[in-house]
Chain A
Amino acid sequence: MKTMDLQELEKRFQEKIDKEIKIEPNDWMPDEYRKTLIRQISQHAHSEIVGMLPEGNWITRAPNLRRKAVLLAKVQDEAGHGLYLYSSVETLGADREATIDDLHSGKAKYSSIFNYPAVTWADIGTIGWLVDGAAIMNQVALCRCSYGPYARGMVKICKEESFHQRQGFESLVTLCNGTPTQKAMAQDAMNRFWWPALMMFGPSDDESPNSAQSMKWKIKRFSNDELRQSFVDATVPQAEILGLTIPDPNLKWNEETGHYDFSPINWDEFWQVVNGNGPCNKERIEARTKAKEEGMWVREAAMAYAEKRALKKTA
């Protein structure tokens, strides 16, 4: 009897999904759907927040006031993105602080790209162009996610992201039209960020076992490999305009498929970084943990003050 009910609920749920009806927080949903979303949205939120670290590091060293104001605005946006996403994860009944503690304990992941350091100013332009570019490719697809709060958050985020990529590209145009040293700096950044940017789309389709279910639930609309290919196709002409060489000897336009072919990805490196052994994993988590621990007294003081004032009001 009970299992029949569950089957019926699941059937109706899938019918809604198939009819493109959004799922809202109080609607019935399968446990696995909820869990998948909590995992995905909280990891997305963590990525926005951790992503502020490599760029935030350059705010005080931006080459001029315009670039500094732009970088500040971009990093502030990323904080906003993290907040929209933590709010949407809360609509699923998840405890926001628990998801953050999972990040700090290493239980929860975030985008592996942020475990690479930003060592030169050209890295900042490259991050905007390639990293935000790849994130946009992913996030545009997520605007049509079946879960309402996530989809709405993505729409807002995508509107804000478009300047992130442009400002990065603009900064690289300047470097690439600059001195040979500046151009070489841009090429060096490209060499280091190209492959990690491609890894941002996640493992190959045949290596991501949960993908099929996510596609069926319309959490995902395109597979990892499809999105990666779209990114490569969109980015190669941009690199040509910059006059930068993509560090892949096998990158070649394929007349037959209408796409660029590219070399296989070094998945060993990807898994190394995902599993905590990238160049900056330790540093990133330490910075986040420290921010929470050392900022805790502010949170507590603000709460104590609010409670005291509320008491005074009722007295």
Chain B
Amino acid sequence: MSNREWPLWEVFIRSKQGLNHKHVGSLRAPDATLALENARDVYTRRSEGISIWVVESNYVHASDPSDADSLFEPSDTKVYRHPTFYEVPDGIKHM
């Protein structure tokens, strides 16, 4: 019916001071100002956040799920990147 749809925005919310903004969902809005206002109404009706980011979905670049093996598998095999890989003598504390 309308010739041009409102763009899609991704919504990120900081639930409290000291925490990251986290993706919570998306919505449609004509511009950033209204996207923020709509995000307030749609995603923070119960004190879910103290700060909102909105990003036009067009600008999100995502990795291809079919590349997941080649991208992430190499780190699965590198157990020496974790402290638990290393043995320390019994007497050592706090390392």
Binding site for B on A (CB under 8 A): 24, 26-28, 73, 76-77, 80, 83-84, 87, 90, 96-97, 101, 153, 160, 292-293, 296, 299-300, 302-303, 305-306, 309-310
Contacts and interface: CB of A to CB of B under 8 A. Distances in A.
Contacts of B42: 80, 83-84
Interface of B: 1-2, 4-6, 8, 25-28, 30-31, 34, 41-42, 45-46, 62, 64-66
B62 A26 contact: yes
A90 B26 contact: yes
B31 to A, nearest CB: 4
Given A24-B65, A76-B45, A96 B2 contact: no
Contacts of B46: 160
Given A80-B42, A97-B2, A302 B30 contact: yes
Sorted nearest first, the 6 A-B pairs with minimum C-beta distance are A306-B31, A306-B30, A302-B30, A87-B26, A303-B30, A27-B65
A83 B27 contact: yes
A73 to B, nearest CB: 8
A296 B2 contact: yes
Contact of A84 (B1, B5, B8, B25): B25
27 contacts: A26-B65, A27-B65, A28-B65, A28-B66, A73-B45, A77-B45, A80-B41, A80-B45, A83-B42, A84-B42, A87-B25, A96-B5, A96-B28, A97-B5, A101-B1, A160-B46, A299-B2, A299-B6, A299-B30, A300-B2, A302-B6, A302-B30, A305-B30, A305-B31, A306-B31, A309-B31, A310-B31
Contacts, number: 55
Contacts of A309: 31
Contacts of A293: 1
A97 B34 contact: no
Contacts of A300: 2
A76 B25 CA distance: 18
Nearest to A303: B30
A302 B34 contact: yes
B2 to A, nearest CB: 6
Contacts of B31: 302, 305-306, 309-310
A303 B5 CA distance: 8
Contact of B1 (A77, A292, A310): A292
Q: From A27, A296, A303, A310, name the one whose CB has the most chain B CB atoms within 10 angstroms.
A: A303
A26 B45 CA distance: 29
Nearest to B34: A302
Given A77-B45, A292-B1, A302-B30, 12 more contacts: A26-B62, A26-B65, A80-B41, A83-B27, A83-B42, A84-B42, A87-B27, A96-B28, A153-B25, A160-B46, A306-B31, A306-B34
B83 to A, nearest CB: 28
Contacts of B45: 73, 76-77, 80, 160
Contacts of A80: 41-42, 45
Q: From A80, A302, A306, A310, name the one whose CB has the most chain B CB atoms within 10 angstroms.
A: A306
A296 B4 CA distance: 11
A163 to B, nearest CB: 10
Nearest to B5: A97
A159 B28 CA distance: 23
A118 B26 CA distance: 32
Q: From A83, A90, A305, name the one whose CB has the most chain B CB atoms within 10 angstroms.
A: A83
Q: From A28, A293, A300, name the one whose CB has the most chain B CB atoms within 10 angstroms.
A: A300
